[in-house]
Amino acid sequence: MAEADRDMQPAGTLAPDENEPKGIKEVAKMLGVTHRTLRFYEDNGLISPTRVSSTRIYSKREIGRMQLILRGKRLGFTLREISEFLDLYEADPHHREQMELLLKQVRAKLGELRAQKAALEETMRELKQIEQEAKDRIAEAKAK
């Protein structure tokens, strides 16, 4: 597995017995999500479990894709961005385009987070100033 692929995967790898196909209940428990979450990503075309009758069967590949999806969501990427990343993974056997897109997305997300951090710090400064002014006025009122 390429180093960059490992960077997008959550900690932990599949144990040998986890190479066996699994049902929705088992996969949901393993990933810490609901059945509805799995169906949502299936409905949006991000995963494609095999169907045997009405039963969904998840391969190691689908479970890996879900791990990438969940990590992408935790990092704040949109479904569209995650979908583009997964599509490139399938299309580019050397994963160069995938890594270039990942790098671009990560840099953009870092920029967004820096801007949000600056805005939060400014809001906190303003609130601290208001807090101090309120405390000063209370102290003045008590002194009278």
85-126: per-residue pLDDT in tens? 888 777 666 778 878 888 888 899 999 999 999 999 999 999
Predicted confidence (pLDDT) per residue in 41-82, tens digit: 999 999 999 988 888 999 998 998 999 999 999 988 999 989
Vertex 24: Cα angle to 21 and 28 (nearest 5): 110
pTM of this prediction exceeds 0.75: no
List domains and CATH numbers for the chain: 3-143 (1.10.1660.10)
Of 84, 9, 6, 104, nearest in space to 44 by CA: 84
